[in-house]
Amino acid sequence: MRAFVLQGNDAAMAVEWLHVHAQVEGVLEEPDALVVWLPCELPQLPKGLQVTVQERIVRAEDYHVTGLENDTVIVVTEDLLVRPPWVECPEGFAGTELIVPRGGAFGSGEHDSTKAALVVMHRSWDAVASMADVGAGSGILALYANVRGCERIEACDIDEPSVIAARELLPEASIYVGGAERMRPCDLVVANMTGAELRGSLNSILSIWTRENDLILSGMRAPEVDDLVARVPGREVDRETLGAFTAVRFAAN
């Protein structure tokens, strides 16, 4: 087993890419880095990612580290939080909790693109009959809709381990390996992906949006936002930027 230390603004995105393109055996979070465990050499990461890589010597005692020791509550807003089941809810909290058993699949609430999407969803939430989560990761955005009472939830991701994790989190949802074209039309559609992935998938995303509720796109970096917004046949009604990532909400009218 080999361990690689990833640091930089795009470390989380690099880990997301590795989940699709390599056999990731584990990811440990450190205060300023992500340590990825692989059974082989680290693949060449995509050009343009702001990330540095350094291999770390693996010691016998490292195999006993679970990665859960430093887990904490992720406060998204003052009345919305994400936590794994082994971390207690803060005393006195009376808002919405998303309990996600964080594992190998990407999407447990730490990434700024996920938090930005959650902020926009939470700020505008209205009762909705159906929701589609495109690029769902472990299903945290779909979980939010489930907790808020959405009856029909569909989700998809190209990463099979993420789909397995999302199915465990939401056993009654319809969750597919693949893209948006696999899903039935839904009133609320949320897509949290890279800007390039959003551009490439936009037609499929729009094809499942009934326009009975909102469309939320997240994961865009600043230079990508205006181009993607201009491609959407809807009115921008909200925007949230956290770190390097922006989420935009569109209304049908």
153, 184: one domain: yes
CATH number of the structural domain spanning residue 7:
3.30.70
Q: What is the pLDDT of residue 106?
A: 42
195, 242: one domain: yes
Q: Give residue 72's pLDDT band: very low, low, confident or very high (50, 70, 90).
A: confident
174, 100: one domain: yes
- Is 58 inside a domain boundary? yes
Residues 6+ apart with CB under 8 A from 69: none
- Is 69 inside a domain boundary? no
47, 101: one domain: no
Number of domains composing the chain = 2
Distance in angstroms (rounded) separating the CA atoms of residues 130 and 62:
44
- Is 161 inside a domain boundary? yes
129, 219: one domain: yes
44, 83: one domain: no
Choice between 148 and 28, residue whose per-residue pLDDT is larger: 148
128, 58: one domain: no
Residue 6 domain boundaries: 2-64
Q: What is the pTM of this model?
A: 0.75
Domain final residue, candidates 11, 37, 64: 64
Distance in angstroms (rounded) separating the CA atoms of residues 140 and 145:
9
CB 134 within 8 A of CB 153: no
- Is 20 inside a domain boundary? yes
CATH number of the structural domain spanning residue 122:
3.40.50.150
11, 111: one domain: no
- Is 137 inside a domain boundary? yes
Report pLDDT digits (tens) over 230-250: 999 999 999 999 999 999 999
182, 120: one domain: yes
Residue 68 confidence (pLDDT) above 70 = no
Report pLDDT digits (tens) over 83-123: 888 888 999 999 999 998 755 434 456 789 999 999 999 99
Q: What is the pLDDT of residue 128?
A: 95
Q: What is the pLDDT of residue 104?
A: 45
Report pLDDT digits (tens) over 44-61: 999 999 999 999 988 776
Proportion of the chain above pLDDT 90, given as a percent: 70
Domain final residue, candidates 42, 64, 86: 64
- Is 186 inside a domain boundary? yes
Identify any residues that bridge with 192 across adjacent strands, giving them in sequence order.
Answer: 218
58, 86: one domain: no
The mean pLDDT of 34-42, rounded to a whole number, is 90
- Where residue 178 falls (left for φ over 0; alpha for ψ -120 to 50; beta otherwise) is left
233, 168: one domain: yes
7, 46: one domain: yes
